[in-house]
Amino acid sequence: MARVQALFIAAEKRGPVSRHDALKVEAGRGIVGDRRYRRDTPPAEQITLIESEQVAAFNREFGLAVDAGTLRRNVVTEGVDLNALEGHTFRVGDILMRGIELCEPCSVVGHLLAGPDLSPTRVVRGLTGRGGLRAEVLGSGVLREGDTIRTHLEDRSA
């Protein structure tokens, strides 16, 4: 069963990430308290998701123990192929969302995870294609750790 494993926000750009048991979200705006939350938040900036399985694969490949929150995504999932949700609607708990585009890694994450034997460029390349999904929030309510993710919803563009 696909579910939410963890929830994170950062209150300011490049600021620390904090984990929460629950987060309030608003349609068309995103996560209350997150750095991107505002009246006119573009759909691709409202919420980001990443698969815990992809974080584990990255860790195995590079011999690291990176916590999923370090990758600065809002929702850490388990048991769902997020790349397949690009352009499709899905539900996280009671909240309807639409996958906008893949959330490819940026230089900020590259520099955060870089080390003596791992350059920022290698970090970015290692996460490309498995950095998660940017999504639009279509409904308001509360997301909670443990929420079920349902992906077999009718395509919104159809």
Model confidence pLDDT, tens digit, residues 39-78:
899 999 999 999 999 999 999 999 999 999 889 999 999 9
CATH value at residue 127: 2.40.33.20
Q: 158 lies in a domain?
A: no
Say which residues have a Cβ less than 8 Å from residue 3's Cβ, sequence separation at least 6: 77, 78, 79, 146, 147, 148, 149
In-domain check, residue 75? yes
Name residue, tokens 């994170």.
Answer: 8
Give the N- to C-terminal CA distance of the chain in Å, as an integer. Answer: 26
Q: 3-state class of 129 per DSSP?
A: coil
Q: What is the pLDDT of residues 96-135, one digit of tens each?
A: 999 999 999 888 888 888 888 899 999 999 999 999 999 9
Residue carrying structure tokens 């996958």: 99
Does residue 109 sit within a domain? Answer: yes
Written as one letter, the residue type at 111 is H
**Does a structural domain hold residue 91?**
yes
Return d(Cα 69, Cα 72) in angstroms, integer: 6
In a domain, 155, yes or no: no
Indicate whether 35 belongs to any domain: yes
* Total domains, the chain: 1
With respect to residue 157, please indicate whether it lies within any of the assigned structural domains: no
Domain of 126?
A: 3-150
Q: Is the residue at 100 inside a domain?
A: yes
Share of the chain above pLDDT 70, in %: 96
Q: What is the pTM of this model?
A: 0.91
> Residue type at 105?
P
* CA–CA separation, 135 and 145 (whole Å): 18
Strand order of the sheet with strand 30-31? Answer: 30-31, 22-26, 141-144
